[in-house]
Amino acid sequence: MTTDVQNSRAILSGVPEGFDGRIVADITKAARSGDQPGIHLHVVRDDRRLDELQAAVTFFAPDVAVVPFPSWDTVPYDRTSPNSEIVSKRITALGKLAVGGRKKPTLVITTVNAILQRVPPRSFIRGAVKTIAPGQRLDPADLIKRLESYGYDRSSTVMEPGEYAQRGGIVDLYPPGRSAPIRLDFFGDQLETIKAFDAETQRSLKPVPKFSLMPVSEVAFGDAATALFRTRYVALFGGNTGDDPLYEAVSSGRRYVGQEHWLPLFHPTLETLFDYLPGVGISFDHLADEAIQRRFEQIREHYEARVDSLEGQRFGAPPYKPVPPDQMFLDGKSWKAALEARTVSRLTPFDDPSPTNVYQMHGKRGRTFAAERANPDANVFDAAVAHIRRIQGDNRRVILACWTPGARERLITLLQDHGLKDAVKVESFADVQAMRPNETAFAVFGIEEGFETPDFAVVAEQDILGDRLVRQRRRAKKAADVLTEATSLSVGDLVVHSDHGIGRFAGLQTITALGAPHDCLELHYAGGDKLFLPVENIELLSRYGSDEGDAQLDRLGGAGWQSRKAKLKKRLREIANELIKIAALRAMREAPVLVAPTGAYDEFVAKFPYEETEDQAASIEAVLGDLASGKPMDRLVCGDVGFGKTEVALRAAFVAAMSGLQVAVVVPTTLLARQHFRTFSQRFQGLPVKIAQASRMVGAKELAEVKAGLKSGDIDIVVGTHALLGKAIEFARLGLLIIDEEQHFGVNHKERLKKMREDVHVLTLSATPIPRTLQLALTGVRELSLITTPPVDRLAVRTFISPFDPVILKEALRRERFRGGQTYYVAPRISDLDDMAEFLREAVPDLVFARATGQMSPTELEDVMTAFYEGKYDILLSTAIVESGLDVPNANTLIVHRADMFGLAQLYQLRGRVGRSKTRAYAYITTPPDKKLTEGAEKRLKVLQSLDTLGAGFSLASHDLDIRGAGNLLGEEQSGHIREVGFELYQSMLEEAVAAMKGGDLEADDKWSPEIQLGTSIMIPETYVADLQLRLGLYRRLSSFEKRADIDAFAAELVDRFGPLPEEVGHLLDVMEIKGLCRAAGIAKVDAGPKGAVITLHKGKFANPDGLVAFVQNSRGLLKVQPDQRLVYRSDWDLPELRLKGVRALVQQFADLATKTKKAA
């Protein structure tokens, strides 16, 4: 199609976005020389366009290899490092280009920002790329040295790209560009195997034949690089280095956050992407030239701002000495020179009138159906089907481009309902060309809007359904793994021992018991008492929680703990009873059966601009099931702000309203009422449903009309505040009550809600996370749906964590203002607001800001929030009260002052306030520049940063509540109980109480753990697993296994991760199996030695007394019962192995006897 474009300065007109994928792929193929496949460079405006173009090229020309080279996601002269995932993509691309050897046509796609920035030289990349394969001789120590010099971080467990860990002859590492980390197994200096492994489970997957080891940073590390840095630094900035933390950190061999912005000081010379692609033709996106000019200005402005701020150090930020722009970036002159010698073509969607060098590609923008969507009398799906038929009538093929496979299924169904025939799913353009003319292709290839060419037309999903907010799903880590790491015990934590009460964890100690080493947890109690708990009984411990201020340590052997526990047990039984009573009463009532009308429901669903997440789809299904069950629904939907709870409510309201019943939506604030009213009105547009609102924003006359309409049945859906709960309001046929953020209502309003909800369906929405163990306890008592996965791109808020820096914050505030957005600026204390206001007045005098604090009256606060929502202020300066359910789509930058003073859940929820629309959102989490952070604060901020790629946030917030001890769903007294026994134990006791009540078992047994003393060494040695946290985590996991199959799987995992099992670990695993058998047999204690074993039964009872008597009688005198009810077994077990084997066989017989009665019963 484009082979005739030979001119060195060509304009390709009639190339709308989407079609450019086809055009650029053709140019790439045409660039071949002799036997060498073609290679071409295309420059797009920004990273979003890079992803879109890559998807389009993959669809139109799967035979073209695409090498993306994204830009750093930081601003010039920033203080934060670029995102590690982006850096690994960049290094992978440079590695491919530097090493060469193309097998197929190759298109390099880069952005304006990336092409203008200098990169490490090819010699550095070539020298650093090393191919590693099994069978090679490779000294592990040399490999570690190389990894350090490549910028890898040492860690105890490898989870993220750029980390490595060494355990004996095993080296784990996560190289850039790979989808999973890899495990190298050495025998001496011989590399025996390479396997990929799962970062979540740490288990090996398939063997890897070979891999390329590449750097993880563009900065060079090692002694030579440090020496070069110091020389260059002094030459550039002079010898006064004492006040610069950058110089100090690099000189002492430490990493410095953001050191990439001094890249020229680490390499003898830098190159450009042009050097990696000598003589290669280049093409530009529409509007790329304007973006290049803007970038030049931005570089200049940022450099000048840094130089200016050096002269006037304010607000305590450390100095920042910027490298001259021409060393880090191309300037206008060098940019011009780079383009001189190349074939350059520019793409434009418009017709270009100039007569020379213009090649017409005959593409044009497609039709959008905005008019039909806005017109209540038109049906957008009928219009789309008519449009498709018209194009096919011109003998052109039609492709419908959808964002995801799920969206494709839905669109096929909707269009078929409106008369579309012969829908075909296609994977590439070749499939389209092979279709029959009357067939319609449905492809998964995301473009913003469709286009038409003389041969075919593409209709985008957005053209038909309106704005879609769908992006590729990122690789999400499992929430559970992050939590396991976050809940590991640290030295100094308060813990609760189920028999002895609250103590302090002092660390792991190896105690010699019966002549053999044994790992124990050392616990300190009141009065200096110490308790050593064997690791195999670790499950008797639970964390107390972090709300430790007023916790008293218990005395060992004191009666206080047991009486507190007994009292609480009784009270919990009452709570459980209450819960079960409520559930039973509800199950006896009846409610109307409501079912969704199929065709209309599908069309209503199609207006939802996201793809449902799994959790959301499950919640919607559960709600629809409840409505159709004939019993009154009482479901709580819990999920973070912006995770799509409103959509669940909308669909329930649709089903109720279309079944002829009224729906009341009750919210705590006027602002939320307005927001929900707007959302409901938009979604129900064009349907025969009348919606009204009732709140203080509505005039008296209108409110009277609403009341009359509700009474007469004229109004179908009403959205309002507690005004709806007044006695004067009567409904003609209320069928569904939706309550948002119930915890914000006062006691009287809650009582009124209780009365209203007796015979109607109730759906409660909450953004306050519920402690996860409580969720378990309530299962089956109150219906609960959790939405814990973020909608596709919701969580990709770019988070920067750095010391307070006026230059960066000034730039952030201005950037948000220039793109027409607003900023939240949040402080931990009201006393901080004056300093922040002074900073704003000085740094951005032209921006308007308002204050919001909890000291204002509710109406005052609401007025400020409303004004901010309406865009009257650029910045909202506030404490952490930023309205919980409030959605301000226009606020897309968040700045947090003194982040070290916030809890993790608070920071996470604050960050959830931004990033609600298609605009990229930024969160600047700032820490004091002159203070060292506490270990806890540092850990919180690290976890927050890793949550960028996680859908774990909600669980994490729940975990944070678990730790702190939340007040809750059942009443305020809970937090008092929690303080008495600690959170984890409280939760498990409540769970046991509910389960016991449900099963009618009124005497649930307490937590107990068999004691086993065999005089064998039992531990995970430090030489096997060096990291203390990791060892504790393994002990904690192991304590939950009792079956041999689980223990064997765990053993296989240990061998896989850490190498062959030492003898002590083998003993530990055997003891865990014996412990499981003891629990089954009801044995509280086993003491074994060379001459036999003494067995103590739990509570002095055995489940099968007759069987036990027979067993003793048949033992030929080997087993005897003593007067104190203990059993003595005689045997010769001199060797530890014999003892383990013998005890296991003996306890197995007891377990078999005990379980026989249970089966008989």
1078 has a pLDDT exceeding 50: yes
End-to-end CA distance of the chain: 82
pLDDT class of 486 with cuts at 50, 70, 90: very low
Tokens 């053999």 locate to 516
Domain-located, residue 470: no
What number is the average pLDDT over the span 754-782? 64
On the question of pLDDT at 476 being above 70, the answer is no
Using one digit for the tens of pLDDT, what is the confidence trace for 105-139? 999 999 999 999 999 999 999 888 888 999 999 99
**Long-range pairs of 133-136 with CB within 8 A, sequence gap ≥ 24:** 133/191, 133/194, 133/209, 133/210, 134/191, 134/192, 134/193, 134/194, 134/207, 134/209, 134/210, 135/190, 135/191, 136/190, 136/191
- State the pairing for strand pair 364-365/451-452: antiparallel
pLDDT more than 70, % of the chain: 84
CATH of the domain at 452: 3.40.50.11140
What is the arithmetic mean of pLDDT over 88-116? 92
289/174 same-domain check: no
Return d(Cα 503, Cα 553) in angstroms, integer: 5
Helix (H, G, I), strand (E, B) or coil at 696: coil
pLDDT digits (tens, 9 = 90+) for 337-388: 999 889 999 999 988 777 788 889 999 999 988 888 878 778 889 999 999 9
Q: Exposed/middle/buried for 770, CB within 10 Å: 0-12, 13-18, 19+?
A: buried
Mean pLDDT of 719-736: 86
Q: Are residues 599 and 713 in the same domain?
A: yes
Q: Do residues 446 and 416 both lie within one domain?
A: yes
Q: What average pLDDT does this structure show over 270-275? A: 96
Report the pLDDT value the prediction gives residue 474, as an integer from 0 to 100: 43
Residue 929 and residue 804 share a domain: yes
Q: 628 with 702, same domain?
A: yes
Res 120: pLDDT: 96
Position 701: which residue type? K
Rounded Cα distance between 724 and 664, Å, is 8
One domain, residues 294 and 418: no
Q: What is the pLDDT of residue 982?
A: 64
Give residue 971's pLDDT: 43
In whole angstroms, what is the distance from residue 789 CA to residue 950 CA?
Answer: 9
Average pLDDT in the 94-108 region?
89
Q: 531 has which bridge partners? A: 523
pLDDT band at 717 (very low <50, low <70, confident <90, very high): very high
The whole-number pLDDT of residue 124 equals: 92
**Domain end marker among 949, 979, 1007:** 949
Shared domain for 725 and 743, answered yes or no, is yes
Which DSSP letter does residue 205 get?
Answer: E
**Residue 250 in domain:** no
Q: Once rounded to an integer, what is the mean pLDDT over residues 718-736?
A: 86
Tell me the one-letter amino acid at 702.
E
pLDDT digits (tens, 9 = 90+) for 934-961: 766 776 676 666 655 444 445 555 555 4
C-alpha to C-alpha distance for 909 and 289, rounded to whole angstroms:
39
- The total number of structural domains that make up the chain: 6
Q: Would residue 536 count as lying in a domain?
A: no
Residue 83 has pLDDT above 90, yes or no: no
Structure confidence at residue 3 as a pLDDT band (50, 70, 90): very low
293 falls in which pLDDT band (50, 70, 90)? very high
DSSP reduced 3-state for 875? strand
Range of the domain at 17: 9-123+262-360
SS3 of 1155, please? helix
pLDDT at 581: 72
Could you tell me if 718 and 741 are in contact, meaning their C-beta atoms sit under 8 angstroms apart?
no
Q: What is the C-alpha to C-alpha distance for residues 49 and 51, in angstroms, rounded to an integer?
A: 5
Query: Higher model confidence: residue 1006 or residue 897?
Result: 897
Position 22 scores a pLDDT of 95
How large is the average pLDDT for residues 48-70? 93
**Mean pLDDT computed over 1080-1084:** 90
Of 933, 949, 965, the residue that ends a domain is 949
Residue 607: per-residue pLDDT: 82
| Phi, psi angles (nearest 5°) of residue 253 | 80, 15
- Report the C-alpha gap between 914 and 80 in whole angstroms: 20
* Same domain? 338 vs 407: no
Domain C-terminal end among 318, 339, 360: 360
Residue 1070 or residue 964, greater confidence? 1070
Q: Is it the case that residue 974 has pLDDT exceeding 60?
A: no
Q: Write the CATH number for 1122.
A: 3.90.1150.50
Of 36-45, 68-77, 798-807, give the lowest mean pLDDT range.
798-807
Is 626 among the domain residues? Answer: yes
Q: Which residue has the tokens 């097998």?
A: 103
Q: Do residues 596 and 737 both lie within one domain?
A: yes
Would 782 be classed as within a structural domain?
yes
Same domain, 201 and 276: no
Average pLDDT over residues 563-592: 75
Query: Quick check: is 453 in a domain?
Result: yes
Q: How does the average pLDDT of the chain come out, rounded?
A: 83
Is the per-residue pLDDT at 96 higher than 70? yes
> Does 562 map to a domain?
no
Is residue 844 within 8 A of residue 653, CB to CB? The reply is no
Nearest to 921 by CA among 912, 930, 908: 912
Dihedral angle sign, alpha carbons of residues 70, 73, 79, 85: negative
Residues 137 and 111 occupy one common structural domain: no
pLDDT at 207 over 50: yes
Contact between 854 and 884 under an 8 Å Cβ cutoff? The reply is no
DSSP 1112: H
Residue 168: pLDDT over 70: yes
Q: Residue 1125 and residue 1098: Cα distance in Å, rounded?
A: 11
Residue 937: other Cβ atoms inside 10 A? 19
> What confidence score (pLDDT) does residue 876 get?
93
Give the pLDDT score at 1.
Answer: 45
Is the per-residue pLDDT at 1020 higher than 80?
A: yes
Distance CA 38, CA 100 (A): 13
Beta partners for residue 190, in sequence order:
137, 187
528 burial (CB, 10 Å; 0-12 / 13-18 / 19+) is exposed
Residue 762: per-residue pLDDT: 87
pLDDT 10s digits, 902-931: 876 677 777 877 877 667 788 898 988 777
Rounded Cα distance, 379 and 900, in Å: 53
Residue 579 lies in a domain: no
Tell me whether residue 939 is exposed, middle or buried, using C-beta atoms within 10 angstroms of its C-beta: 0 to 12, 13 to 18, 19 or more: middle
Q: 331-335, 431-435, 964-968: lowest mean pLDDT where?
A: 964-968
23 and 167 share one domain: no
Query: Which of 264, 257, 260 is CA-nearest to residue 121?
Result: 264
